[in-house]
């Protein structure tokens, strides 16, 4: 039973992570039908889509550079960003609000992973075009 559930969840994740921008658009309209608040809908959809971008970008990185380090590289960059932003907040306010720092890092990772997704997508196309022989 657990194997079937795990297989089902991983299949859904794989389908949604193939094209995260289409997933973003579909989720945005679906969430907007329930919330009716564009700002909150956009934030929630960005947060969910970041999960799919994380898997998609790490897989594209691994395929392009023939490595298995893509996910861990992204995790390392997120942890460094968390430390830098948390340190800056501590310097400014004297204390760190972990929830706010987490939100900032997660939403910045949406922007960074989106840009990296587009870059890696075009690099894959270029690689396949140049080395198609």
Q: Digits of tens for pLDDT over the chain (133 positions)?
A: 788 999 999 999 988 898 999 999 999 999 999 999 999 999 999 999 999 999 999 999 999 999 999 999 999 999 999 999 999 999 999 999 999 999 999 999 999 999 999 999 999 999 888 877 5
Helix (H, G, I), strand (E, B) or coil at 36: coil
Name the pTM for this structure: 0.89
- The answer for residues whose C-beta is within 8 angstroms of residue 109's C-beta and 6 or more apart is 50, 53, 54, 74, 78, 81
């Amino acid at each position: 039973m657990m194997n079937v559930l795990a297989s089902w969840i991983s299949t859904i994740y794989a389908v949604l992570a193939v094209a995260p921008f289409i997933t973003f658009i579909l989720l945005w309209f679906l969430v907007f039908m329930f919330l009716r608040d564009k700002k909150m809908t956009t934030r929630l959809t960005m947060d969910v889509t970041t999960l799919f971008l994380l898997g998609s970008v790490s897989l594209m990185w691994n395929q392009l550079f023939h490595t298995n380090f893509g996910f861990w590289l992204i995790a390392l960059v997120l942890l460094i960003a968390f430390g830098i932003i948390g340190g800056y907040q501590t310097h400014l306010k004297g204390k760190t609000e972990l929830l706010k720092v987490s939100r900032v890092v997660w939403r910045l990772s949406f922007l960074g992973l989106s840009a990296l997704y587009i870059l890696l997508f075009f690099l894959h196309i270029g690689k396949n075009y140049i080395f198609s022989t």
